[in-house]
Structure 1
């Protein structure tokens, strides 16, 4: 139950943001925690770290929201006859993650972990549009992050 990560750094930015990026092993650990919790066999995930411009463009093109966002999830829908373990793509906006971590007074690595867990759950079909879906998804996130020794991301400061 391991995530196979295609790690992509697709931006140039200042040194502090580059230094804050999680490495491939961390991303693999976080995504694998989701697969393990849900007892899902090995899956491949592309994780692409981008700037605000790319995030905003994708968010506008695919969600009709003309602003950058922390994480976008693009599930891969493979025809049943094709034996491929690709789960999909996660697009992580580095400047948004850094700003949110600062505003929420949490370690940036914990926020990255939360967004990888959150995005991976989206790739697996979880959503938070309806209240009951949100409660289920958030409970899973809290449980998985706790196993990674990361505090509940939804708790108040």
Structure 2
């Protein structure tokens, strides 16, 4: 069946807006989490809350669908994503515990991530690395060097 949903500017930008609106408090909360709290215990509670919220969102948005039937469709990507999320959360928490500034640490993480994804996109998905993108990558690397405190 062909998807006939009209893409408007707002629903096109909505995922980016949601990411920024949730990532800003996420980074601040990671920064202010007390060092006396074990990161893994903290993440256990965090993911418990996530579980409740996501299950609630399923039932609010997927009226008439059977949760257990949907759960049976899950493949290796869901647990792999879970492992990635744990590693990402631990890395951010440890980064702040090592004394990184909120702004510098965040910029460093996202610039390095963007560079890595350009490489992955080019190698595995045959995405074109244009001269413009290459200049952008070089500028990102220069920016990381300029703001880095290492």
Higher strand fraction (1 or 2) = 1
Q: Which has the higher contact order (CA 8 A, sep 6+)?
A: 2
For the superposition of Structure 1 and Structure 2, which TM-score range results when normalised by the shorter chain?
Answer: 0.3 to 0.5
Q: How high is the TM-score relative to the length of structure 1? A: 0.32
